[in-house]
Amino acid sequence: MKKKGWIALIVILILLTVAVGIYFKFSQPASFSVTPDYPINLNLVSGAEAITSIKITNNEEESHDFKIEFKGLDEIASISETEFSLESKKSKEIKIIFNDPKNFSHVYFANLIVTNTNFKKNIPVLLTFRDSASLFSIIQKPITKYFDVYPGGKLGVEIDVFGSGGKDYSKEVKASYELLSPEESIFYSEENLIVGNEYSFSKVFDINPELPYGKYVLVTSIEYNEIKSISSYLFEVKPKQNEFFLEKTNLLILVFFAFVILIIVLFIYFIKSRDELLLALRKQQSRELAKNIELITAVQRRVPDKKETLERTKKKVVIKIKKRQEKQIKELRRLKNKGVKKDKIKTQLEKWKKQGYGFPEIKKEIPEKSINKQITKWKRAGYREE
């Protein structure tokens, strides 16, 4: 391989090493994992007790101490173990019990925090407690236009209200809307509505431009005769889609990998393109040598009394042809190293082809009249000397 080829190969290897390093940095597993890896979302009857569990797995090659705590649910939640150690690749199941002392509709939203020396993970916990005497069922669905929620944007939901039975007549109710984070209430508003056994409407809320990224809950309630019906909608506030990719450097990584792949493709094409010329020359030389041997063999058949002489001649001719072909290969490599264009090298290959089919080595060893008859025969069959 020429010097430029080696330089290109070294540069590509360096780029690949950097790319692989970046890939593993961004794709390596977290220090530990929690299963399930999505928010704990429970719908319960007010005053009820609920039991759930999570599994924590130590992904590292050494043991670690773990700590689990709630932020905001200490009064109703108990954890089977709050501090423990895990060996490498080992897992532990933790039971969590929620015991609600209240007997009315309400929502708890908090974070379950799991930490070790190197890593911290927040698991949102949403508990929606409904009064068993609730008069309405409420379903909240995101409006497609506002599916992505980001600071300075909007939160849009479609709200369907269904009566739980009884006569189908309109009622004046108080509807309230509250946005919760695990730490506090972000905003609260209310209004009066006239609803029947089925009622649907949409609500769009402005999102504060300063609102931090994270999980939030929209709590919608309908109150009638001091009985509250409630529904909770868990969603995430995150950067606008184009900002998200830029901030997470996903776009940068994709561009980098695309750049590396492009270099590799161009390098392979360059090497393949140059090798094609050498391959074409070798095929050309192989056909040329075969044709020269065929010509001497044809002469041998016509003059059998000179068979031994012609056999020696054949060996000499073959040696001379191979020497000439070796010079052609060296010249081809010299042209490639000089950066001569592919078309000009192809022109040189055609020139060598015409010279080879002129049988210069045979004509020096065997009188031309002895081979002219065979050449004439080939021409009649469609073969051209050039």
Bond from prior residue into 36 cis (ω within 30 degrees of 0): yes
H or E element that contains 256: helix 250-302
Q: Highest mean pLDDT: which of 24-33, 183-192, 353-362?
A: 183-192
Confidence of residue 246 (pLDDT cuts 50, 70, 90): very low
Spatial separation of the C-alpha atoms in residues 116 and 83, rounded to whole Å:
10
Stronger pLDDT, 32 or 255, i.e. the higher one: 32
Spatial separation of the C-alpha atoms in residues 57 and 90, rounded to whole Å:
6
- The answer to whether residues 151 and 209 touch, using CB atoms and an 8 Å cutoff, is yes
| For range 265-282, the mean pLDDT | 69
- The answer to whether residues 133 and 105 touch, using CB atoms and an 8 Å cutoff, is no
Q: Which one-letter amino acid corresponds to residue 205?
A: F
First to last CA, the chain: 33
| For range 65-74, the mean pLDDT | 83
Q: 308-311: which pairs have CB atoms within 8 A and are 24 or more residues apart?
A: 310/366
| For range 353-371, the mean pLDDT | 76
- The answer to whether residues 202 and 159 touch, using CB atoms and an 8 Å cutoff, is yes
Stronger pLDDT, 177 or 378, i.e. the higher one: 177
What local confidence, expressed as pLDDT, does residue 245 receive? 47
Gyration radius of the chain's alpha carbons: 42
| For range 182-196, the mean pLDDT | 92
Domains of the chain: 133-242 (2.60.40.150), 254-380 (no CATH)
Among 52, 55, 57, 56, which residue's Cα sits nearest to residue 41? 52
Among 306, 292, 310, which residue's Cα sits nearest to residue 356? 292
Confidence of residue 252 (pLDDT cuts 50, 70, 90): low
| For range 204-233, the mean pLDDT | 93
What local confidence, expressed as pLDDT, does residue 337 receive? 82
In this predicted structure, the answer to whether residue 235 has a pLDDT above a threshold of 50 is yes
5-61 confidence digits (pLDDT tens): 566 667 666 766 766 665 555 555 578 889 888 888 988 888 888 899 999 999 888
- SS3 (DSSP) at 38: coil
H or E element that contains 217: strand 214-224
pTM of the model: 0.57
| For range 94-107, the mean pLDDT | 87
Q: Which one-letter amino acid corresponds to residue 42?
A: L
Q: How buried is 70 (Cβ within 10 angstroms: 0-12 exposed, 13-18 middle, 19+ buried)?
A: buried
User: What string of H, E and C letters represents the secondary structure of 318-354?
Assistant: HHHHHHHHHHHHHHHHHHHHCCCCHHHHHHHHHHHHH
DSSP 112-158: EEEE-SS-EEEEEEEEEEE-TT--EEEEEEE-GGG-SB-TTSEEEEE
Tokens standing for residue 27: 């794709």
Stronger pLDDT, 356 or 151, i.e. the higher one: 151
304-351 confidence digits (pLDDT tens): 777 777 788 888 888 888 888 888 888 888 888 888 888 888 888 888
